[in-house]
Amino acid sequence: MSIEVVADPAANTTSASWLAIRSEQEAAMVVALLNLSERERRVVSSRYRDGLAFGEIGDHLGISAEAARKVCTRAIRRLQQMMGVEQ
């Protein structure tokens, strides 16, 4: 499960309007991430920024790999809801 900003492939992705939309989306994502709990942010960051496996994340947080996966899944669902992404 991942969240991506998707551009219209037919559009010029370097246009000022596209860059403004991208900037707004990134700002909204930052706000959404700040609304997650510290644990959720750490799991999402470890998974998607650092590329860690759930077992590694669990080891860092003192939880099982399955618990790390569940925290991540719930956090991504919350982010999708906050960002208005249909599931």
Q: Which residue has the higher pLDDT, 5 or 59?
A: 59
Domain boundaries, the chain: 37-87
Q: Which residue has the higher pLDDT, 53 or 10?
A: 53
Mean residue pLDDT across the chain: 84
Residue 75 burial (CB count, 10 A): 23
- Per residue in 12-54, pLDDT (tens digit) is 557 888 877 777 778 878 888 888 999 999 999 999 999 999 9
Q: What is the CATH number of domain 37-87?
A: 1.10.10.10
Buried b (16+ CB within 10 A) or exposed e, 30-69: eebbeebeeebebbbebbeeeebebeebbeeeebeeeebb
CB 28 within 8 A of CB 18: no
